[in-house]
């Protein structure tokens, strides 16, 4: 089946793949991540993950291989919370998530010349109440700047999480159980020494 390529700039996804001993190379891809009108959050993450995998496949030219693409969205009341555009936006996201349960949707797509398979994993994350001053300090740390929903569960943002139902690794950015199932279906190796 050839080598595995990861079509992602996310250091979290690189770390998660390496954690399960998957050898891979990186591909830099660019896709338009603008949601379509009336598109559901599930359909959105699936479309973006598939687009990343297929954009990566196109970059392989004549080389053999499979490309993994993924997308993660934080969803509150059917509204996708992207990366904060400003301090005010980031603080507004934290205020909206405070004391509530939201969904984190991660789609993972694996594409070869012959096929493209996609799965979507939905997890529920509950935040305790976040005081305004605490949200300000968290924003000042810089951690929320490039994170969907304005927080990182694998970082200091974990302090806000009172409950998680679903896949922790999916909330971080790549559902490992489902990713392994895709890799196995495509005949790709894992648990190997010297992984990226």
CA 16-21-24 angle, to 5 degrees, is 80
**Catalytic annotation, residues:** 71
**Which of 148, 157, 150, 45 lies closest to 106 in space, CA to CA?**
45
Please state, in angstroms and rounded to a whole number, the distance separating the CA atoms of residues 141 and 177.
Answer: 32
Please state, in angstroms and rounded to a whole number, the distance separating the CA atoms of residues 26 and 105.
Answer: 23
Positive or negative CA dihedral for 84, 100, 138, 158? negative
Which residue intervals of 20-120 are DSSP H helices?
A: 41-59, 87-97
**Which of 72, 85, 101 lies closest to 139 in space, CA to CA?**
85
């Amino acid at each position: 089946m050839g080598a595995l390529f990861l079509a992602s700039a996310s250091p979290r996804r690189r770390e998660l793949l390496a954690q399960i001993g998957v050898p891979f190379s990186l591909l830099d891809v660019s896709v338009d991540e603008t949601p379509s009108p009336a598109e559901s959050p599930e359909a959105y993450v699936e479309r973006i993950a598939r687009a990343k995998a297929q954009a990566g496949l196109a970059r392989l030219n004549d080389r053999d291989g499979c490309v993994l693409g993924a997308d993660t969205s934080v969803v509150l009341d059917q509204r996708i919370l992207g990366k904060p555009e400003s301090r005010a936006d980031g603080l507004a996201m934290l205020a909206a998530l405070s004391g509530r349960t939201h969904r984190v949707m991660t789609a993972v797509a694996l594409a070869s010349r012959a096929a493209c398979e996609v799965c979507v994993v939905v997890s529920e994350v509950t935040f305790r109440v976040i005081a305004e001053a605490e949200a300000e300090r968290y924003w000042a740390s810089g951690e929320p700047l490039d994170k969907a929903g304005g927080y990182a569960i694998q970082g200091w943002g974990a302090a806000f999480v009172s409950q998680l139902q679903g896949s922790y690794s999916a909330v971080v950015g790549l559902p490992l159980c489902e990713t392994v199932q895709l890799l196995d279906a495509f005949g790709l190796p894992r648990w190997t020494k010297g992984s990226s």
